């Protein structure tokens, strides 16, 4: 349709594999745009995002065959999310080794100028209006759950878990948010549009202020140029993830001359250090030690994800003002964190570590068993054992204090795993945790 324009772009960034996917589909007078950010091992995330995008394509083709009214858009979008959950469930049933895979999905469905939108996970939808960007989705993430419960002051140990998400399209049938809540649909004005992105576009240094993105949208001549420059900007400001973006304009967004930094696309990793060094020399108010520390944290930041029944293992022990433990409580379909006012450092010394042995890497036979110490209190519901390898996360719930590796073929020999054990009590509080590194070996 001549009155609308859209562009999507997805790059692997500094990752070896691109587990993101983006799409722009137009069938009849329906337009469907979105981003999926996959997770779950070397191939699981890629499969998850691509399969969900295919579900989106099939649904928009089917919907376009009928003469739907704008009032039907929310029902169509709700079906997309349900079908996506069902499709990934089928894949896992056929291939159990993919049981840890999942994906986010953030999208906008339009009929002419009327639209609805939805999300699950932490990929975002922004409304472009009057030269500004406003986020119209709410992240399903640990950080956002904390912000909703406790306000804007986020402790640093919660910020370290910024990649942990609390809902995902996967085997757990988490529920997506479909908007608007109060109306059947919203209506675009002629100079408005959307920006949809995976979290790779928003490294910590850029996440809190959308002004820089708005400047690229209104300061470039085309959506393609804006997308390319934004991806490069994120890449050179600390993004270590895949980066995906969809831009859409209804009629034409008003553009004007804006001061922006332009980049050569695709981004060049060899120029990252020089770019950051130049930036740090301009911001000379901050000590060099702080800048160096921030760069190191950026490079080694932990990337985890969590489905609704997966418990999150924090870094122990805390120090200074971060000594208070955050307990995670399961309420309904979400993990909601609350500050455990009565849970002080004694919890750490009494109940951590659960895992027997030293903190050094130890080898275990893939035919052998893994043990941990029992919790010495009452009311144990179960133990959660979490195996982490790069972005591959395997969560196991057990009532015993041991497991046999041979019972879990998706734990692969030759890999190093970070292992975390948590105990969940009857009131669902996680009372402590412990971590160690193990290496699985063949007999």
* 267 and 347, same domain (yes or no): no
Rounded to a whole number of angstroms, the distance between the first and last alpha carbons of the chain is: 63
Q: What is the pLDDT of residue 118?
A: 98
Determine the average pLDDT of the residues in 235-258: 94
Please state, in angstroms and rounded to a whole number, the distance separating the CA atoms of residues 198 and 376: 43
Q: 401 or 13: whose pLDDT is higher?
A: 13
With respect to residue 298, please indicate whether it lies within any of the assigned structural domains: no
* 54 and 142, same domain (yes or no): yes
With respect to residue 242, please indicate whether it lies within any of the assigned structural domains: yes
Determine the average pLDDT of the residues in 201-230: 94
* 226 and 358, same domain (yes or no): no
With respect to residue 237, please indicate whether it lies within any of the assigned structural domains: yes
Q: What is the pLDDT of residue 383?
A: 73
What is the extent of the structural domain holding 403?
320-441
* 352 and 432, same domain (yes or no): yes
pLDDT of 267 higher than 60: yes
What is the token pair recorded at 323?
A: 């000594």
Give the CATH number for residue 386.
Answer: 2.60.40.10
Closest among 107, 77, 84, 79 to 6, alpha carbons compared:
107
Answer yes or no: are the C-beta atoms of 298 and 238 closer than 8 Å: yes
Q: Report pLDDT digits (tens) over 308-359.
A: 222 223 332 222 222 222 222 222 222 222 333 322 222 222 233 344 444 4
With respect to residue 304, please indicate whether it lies within any of the assigned structural domains: no
With respect to residue 114, please indicate whether it lies within any of the assigned structural domains: yes
HSE of 200, CA atoms in CB hemisphere, 13 A: 30
Contacts of 13 (CB under 8 A, 6+ apart): 200, 235, 239, 240, 241, 242, 243, 267
With respect to residue 303, please indicate whether it lies within any of the assigned structural domains: no
What is the token pair recorded at 64?
A: 């376009």
Q: What is the pLDDT of residue 156?
A: 78
Give the CATH number for residue 103.
Answer: 3.60.40.10
Q: Report pLDDT digits (tens) over 350-383.
A: 233 344 444 455 677 777 777 776 665 666 777 7
Q: 27 or 322: whose pLDDT is higher?
A: 27
| Domains in the chain, number | 2
Instruction: Supply the pTM of this predicted model.
Output: 0.64
* 218 and 343, same domain (yes or no): no
* 338 and 249, same domain (yes or no): no
Please state, in angstroms and rounded to a whole number, the distance separating the CA atoms of residues 254 and 248: 13
Please state, in angstroms and rounded to a whole number, the distance separating the CA atoms of residues 227 and 282: 26
Q: Report pLDDT digits (tens) over 99-151.
A: 889 999 999 999 999 999 999 999 999 999 999 999 999 999 989 988 888 87
* 137 and 240, same domain (yes or no): yes
Alpha carbon 435 to its chain's center: 23
Q: What is the pLDDT of residue 376?
A: 59
* 54 and 151, same domain (yes or no): yes
* 165 and 266, same domain (yes or no): yes
Q: What is the pLDDT of residue 293?
A: 43
Q: 276 or 424: whose pLDDT is higher?
A: 424
* 72 and 15, same domain (yes or no): yes
Q: 234 or 367: whose pLDDT is higher?
A: 234
* 145 and 41, same domain (yes or no): yes
* 91 and 216, same domain (yes or no): yes
Buried b (16+ CB within 10 A) or exposed e, 289-328: eebeebbeebeebebbbbbbebbbbbebebeeeeebbbbb
With respect to residue 42, please indicate whether it lies within any of the assigned structural domains: yes
Q: How many CB atoms lie within 10 A of CB 416?
A: 13
């Amino acid at each position: 349709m001549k009155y609308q324009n859209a562009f999507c772009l997805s790059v692997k960034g500094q990752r070896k594999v691109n587990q993101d996917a983006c799409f722009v589909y137009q069938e009849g007078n329906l337009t469907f745009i979105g981003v999926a950010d996959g997770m779950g091992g070397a191939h699981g995330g890629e499969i998850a995002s691509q399969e969900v995008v295919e579900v989106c394509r099939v649904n928009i083709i089917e919907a376009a065959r009928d003469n739907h009214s704008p009032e039907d858009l929310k029902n169509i979008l709700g079906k997309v999310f349900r079908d996506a959950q069902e499709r990934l469930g089928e894949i896992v049933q056929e291939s159990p080794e993919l049981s840890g895979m999942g994906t986010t999905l953030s999208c906008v469905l339009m009929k002419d100028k009327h639209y609805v939108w939805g999300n699950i996970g932490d990929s975002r939808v922004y409304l472009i209006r009057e030269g500004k960007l406003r986020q119209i989705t709410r992240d399903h993430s640990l950080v956002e759950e904390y912000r909703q419960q406790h306000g804007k002051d986020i402790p640093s140990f919660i910020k370290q878990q910024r990649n942990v998400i609390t809902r995902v399209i996967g085997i757990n049938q988490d529920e997506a948010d479909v908007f608007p809540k109060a109306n059947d649909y919203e209506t675009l004005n002629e100079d408005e549009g959307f920006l949809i992105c995976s979290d790779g576009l928003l490294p910590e240094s850029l996440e809190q202020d959308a002004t820089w993105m708005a400047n690229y949208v209104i300061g470039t001549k085309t959506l393609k140029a804006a997308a390319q420059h934004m991806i490069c900007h994120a890449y050179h400001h600390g993004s270590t993830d895949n980066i995906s973006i969809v831009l859409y304009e209804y009629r034409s967004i008003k553009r004007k001359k804006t001061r922006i930094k332009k980049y050569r696309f695709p981004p060049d990793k060899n120029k990252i250090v020089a770019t950051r060094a130049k930036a740090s020399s301009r911001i000379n108010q901050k000590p060099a030690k702080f800048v160096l520390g921030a760069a190191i944290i950026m490079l080694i930041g932990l990337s985890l994800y969590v489905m609704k029944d997966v418990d999150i293992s924090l870094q122990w022990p805390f120090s200074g003002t971060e000594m208070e433990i955050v307990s995670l409580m399961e309420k309904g379909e979400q993990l909601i964190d609350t500050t455990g006012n009565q849970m002080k450092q004694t919890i750490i010394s009494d109940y951590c570590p659960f895992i027997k042995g030293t903190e050094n890497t130890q080898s275990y036979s893939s035919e052998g068993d893994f043990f941990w110490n029992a919790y010495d209190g009452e009311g144990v519901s179960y133990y959660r054992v979490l195996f982490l390898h790069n972005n591959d996360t395997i969560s196991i719930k057990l009532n015993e204090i041991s497991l046999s590796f041979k019972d879990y073929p998706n734990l692969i020999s030759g890999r190093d795993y970070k292992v975390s054990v948590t105990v969940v009590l009857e009131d669902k509080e996680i009372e402590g945790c412990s971590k160690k590194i193990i290496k699985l070996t063949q007999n």
